Structure 1
Amino acid sequence: MNQSNDAPLPLSVQLAATPSHEQLQSPLFTTLFPELRTIIFTIALTEYDDKTRPYSKHSWCYRPGFTHAGKISTGLLATCRRVYFEAGTHTAAVALNEHVFWMNRHPEDNGRRIEFMLPAFSEEQRAKIDSPNRHHNPRPSPRPTGSSANPHQPSSPGSPSAKSLTIRHSDWWYWEQHQPLRMDRPEKSWGAWIGSIPGIEVLELELETIDAKKAELEGIVRGAVGWRIPLNADGEEGEGWVLVHDGERPRESMWLGTSALAPPGNTRVLDKRTIQEDEEEEKRLDQAHPMDLKLHVRKIFFRRVRA
């Protein structure tokens, strides 16, 4: 038995100490092949849009891929021990889904920060994280005063091999004042954090801005294809490795957002709850703030290679 000052045993270890009921009365285990059960468990534990909790189109967080609160049917894991353990379903919810972290202006249903969330996972769960981490709204460069704007802490063990950084239109410094877009070269600031991530193989950098700054965004993208981000997290094994542009043409897309996001930004509207309050209020916002703001997105991919 653990001493009082020891860390508590993970739930999976505690449950494994008690024999599981075979559940032979259930067709789930007596009729279906294990492969079919695995498919069922995978579908149930994959995050999906909760249609009962749509995001307001006039909030900071609404954008393609983030139109509703996410939901995972974790209640499946509470049905019985055999379901919990079969096919690793107690780690599947962690392994199957993308993990999204918001640095600021996060939805009410997701205020997760990586430095708090990953340590809360068991070692077994961290080892199963294969889907990307997606970090929303890290600042692209330090303040002009020189104080660091990097909000990140070193990643915990079990960080996935793929990470994505998203900088939205409203994340650039002084976007409200129509200041030119600026993004430091990675070796000046944020690249050190990327390089400290153990086992990173792929970095997706997603940049977004309004139509009026499209040319500035293209200039940053052209410069980014020449970046080299040294990796230093894996000790001697990490020496001599860098992240470089994968050679593919950056992916381009455009979507129409709320006019409330046009500089200087209507904070009276944008600061309301991310989840829609009611349909009638959303209709009023639609009329007052048309969805006609062009937002251009560029995705650049970097891969690990020998320096």
Structure 2
Amino acid sequence: MIPPHQRVRGRVGMRGRFDSRRRRGHPSARKKEEDSLSPKDSRREFTLVETVEALAKRPVTIETLLTDDNLSKCHQQEQSPLFKLPAELRTLIFEYTALPFNDPNHEYDEKEYYYRPEHTARHMISTSVLLICRRAWLEASHLPMIQADHCFWLPEDGRRPKHLNSLRLREGARLDRFIRTLTINSRKNLDHIQIFGQMYWLEGSLYLGLPLLLGSFGACPKRLTITIRHSDWWHWEMGLPLELKDAWIQKILNWQALPRLREICVEFETLESHMSELRPILDKLRGKFAKNERLDHFGDRVFVELAPSPPERTWSGSTELGRWKHALYADLEKLDYRIVTLVWTVRPAGSKDAEEHIEMDGDCASMTHISGPELPVLSIDRPSKEDVGSTLSQMDALATEQKIAEWREQGSLLKFASVVAQERPRNATREASSWREECNV
């Protein structure tokens, strides 16, 4: 039999051990345990960049603009033969090193829908030249974005390269994510977008989703190419005559929300045996849309002029399209294609500030900062009228809020006040007063 005093002491000990286990889950207990951990026991140590950002309370970034101020902060590399060359020659060298090239590990099968002379393999760009030094970065960091091939195959996934299927995104969602995640400098350097679209999508969804997506996020390219392949025409697999409804072309030429767009190219591809059907369609388009006049978003007149002589090129491909043997081409060894390109040039006219508007390439990108509010995701595949209407109603408020967010980050009170006085955007007066109070102006 256990003595009474030992039984009491035993109960206290058990209760104490139980209470200590119960207190381990308490927040205060966890905090003490974390404080007592040594640096070796912690999950990870802070890097030098994270430490500097924590002390400076601002992100550590690298400058990308080639200005005298940024250039003076880096080593001039005067000992390097490369930087002893004239700037024009260095630019040519940097452009050559940043050209897209075919990836030998991702070559396309010539029987696929997306196989073409300029798309025989996955395109890649080497950015090794940007790692040479800070001066090379400042002079060439914009080239990969400018020279890259930004191609999208809409709307079906089966007509795009297979390596894109690993993203588990439809092409419309991939285009949407590409536009939304561009940085401000990437939006400024976005030069060209090419879209491969089937005829039913071009006639039904192109003019609804694409200008809204590019215009609202400030990622408008300077050149837009729309390619209609032989397998994109209506009833191509049955060998029926070519037909084209030109309403979507008219709406493309009337786009007002894309200020940086300077060139619109539409490529028409068909078989050499069908050129007699394509020629009347092209003649009709050239006569109807030789010169289109409209007003841009600045209120100035804009002329969209068609080039007088459309360029043509030819190529030959497999008779199996999409890895299917078609009865129409059973007696042929190869398919001979001809591509005719209609090019429209956008030219401002009738305004004293026309040249200034052309130089405002950066403004359309700066109006939409990536840290600002986002629009609802718009389905570029089949956008509904409700999506388009609700998104348009938010564009004005979105541009105003994102302007304020960017200027607040830059500390540009003078610029903010001057634009508020000129444009009077929604809620801008209230934001200006609060911004002045924060700055103690």
TM-score, length of structure 2 as denominator length: 0.51
2:246 to 167, 182, 185: 185
Give the whole-Å Cα distance in 1 for the aligned partners of 2:112 and 2:196: 15
Contact kept? 1:94, 1:128, Cα under 8 Å: yes
Change (3 A) 1:197 1:182: farther
**What is the match of residue 342 of structure 2?**
300
Q: Deviations over 1:204-253 (max 9, x none)?
A: 2110112342222112111110233555552413xx324232222x2233
**What is the match of residue 162 of structure 1?**
223
Alpha-carbon deviation of 1:291? 5.5
Alpha-carbon deviation of 1:43? 1.6
Q: Does 1:54 align with 2:107?
A: yes
Give the whole-Å Cα distance in 1 for the aligned partners of 2:324 and 2:62: 43
Q: Which amino acid letter does the alignment assign opposite residue 91 of structure 1?
A: H
Give the whole-Å Cα distance in 2 for the aligned partners of 1:65 and 1:291: 22
Change (3 A) 1:141 1:118: closer
Q: How many residues align?
A: 271
Give the whole-Å Cα distance in 1 for the aligned partners of 2:202 and 2:183: 34
Larger radius of gyration: 2
Q: Which amino acid letter does the alignment assign opposite residue 242 of structure 2?
A: L
Q: Does 1:132 align with 2:186?
A: no
1:200 to 240, 253, 261: 261
1:107 to 133, 145, 161: 161
Give the whole-Å Cα distance in 1 for the aligned partners of 2:202 and 2:88: 51
Change (3 A) 1:84 1:109: farther
1:215 to 273, 276, 287: 276
Q: Does 1:96 align with 2:157?
A: no
What SS is found at the alignment partner of 2:342? strand
TM-score, length of structure 1 as denominator length: 0.70
Change (3 A) 1:40 1:109: farther
What SS is found at the alignment partner of 1:226? helix
What SS is found at the alignment partner of 1:224? helix
Contact kept? 1:141, 1:184, Cα under 8 Å: no
Q: Does 1:84 align with 2:101?
A: no
Give the whole-Å Cα distance in 2 for the aligned partners of 1:106 and 1:11: 35
Q: Which amino acid letter does the alignment assign opposite residue 314 of structure 2?
A: M
Change (3 A) 1:186 1:243: farther
Work out the percentage of aligned pairs sharing the same amino acid.
Answer: 24
**What is the match of residue 255 of structure 1?**
315
Give the aligned CA root-mean-square deviation in angstroms. 4.0
Change (3 A) 1:33 1:211: closer
Change (3 A) 1:266 1:50: closer
Contact kept? 1:244, 1:302, Cα under 8 Å: yes
Give the whole-Å Cα distance in 1 for the aligned partners of 2:92 and 2:305: 36
What SS is found at the alignment partner of 2:137? helix
Query: Which structure's relative contact order is higher, taking Cα pairs within 8 Å and 6+ residues apart?
Result: 1
Structure 2 gap ranges (5+): 1-51, 54-58, 65-69, 165-170, 351-441
Change (3 A) 1:152 1:214: farther
Change (3 A) 1:203 1:170: same
Give the whole-Å Cα distance in 2 for the aligned partners of 1:231 and 1:192: 9
Contact kept? 2:265, 2:343, Cα under 8 Å: yes
Structure 1 gap ranges (5+): 3-7, 270-287
Change (3 A) 1:133 1:257: same
Give the whole-Å Cα distance in 1 for the aligned partners of 2:293 and 2:233: 24
Give the whole-Å Cα distance in 1 for the aligned partners of 2:311 and 2:288: 17
